[in-house]
């Protein structure tokens, strides 16, 4: 079964928006992820700079 191109774009858009909304609701920062497992904690954060142009 092959979806029309327009329907495929809508499906991908809905999935992306759902993931973004879920992430906004469950985390206070989008650029940081922390995983805790017993005595260990792993943190990953996204750093970015703007050149002001």
Per-residue pLDDT of the chain (53 residues; tens, 9 = 90+): 676 778 889 999 999 999 888 877 777 666 788 889 999 999 988 877 767 66
Residues 42, 35: contact at Cβ < 8 Å?
A: yes
Query: What is the value of pTM for the model shown?
Result: 0.48
Residues 24, 14: contact at Cβ < 8 Å?
A: no
d(CA 46, CA 27): 14
Q: Which of 21, 18, 39 is nearest to 30 (CA)?
A: 21
Residues 44, 32: contact at Cβ < 8 Å?
A: yes
Reported as type and span, the H/E element at residue 12 is helix 5-26
């Amino acid at each position: 079964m092959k979806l029309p191109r327009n329907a495929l774009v809508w499906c991908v858009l809905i999935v992306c928006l759902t993931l973004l909304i879920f992430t906004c609701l469950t985390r206070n920062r989008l650029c940081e992820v922390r995983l805790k497992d017993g005595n260990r904690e792993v943190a990953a954060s996204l750093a970015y700079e703007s050149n002001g142009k």
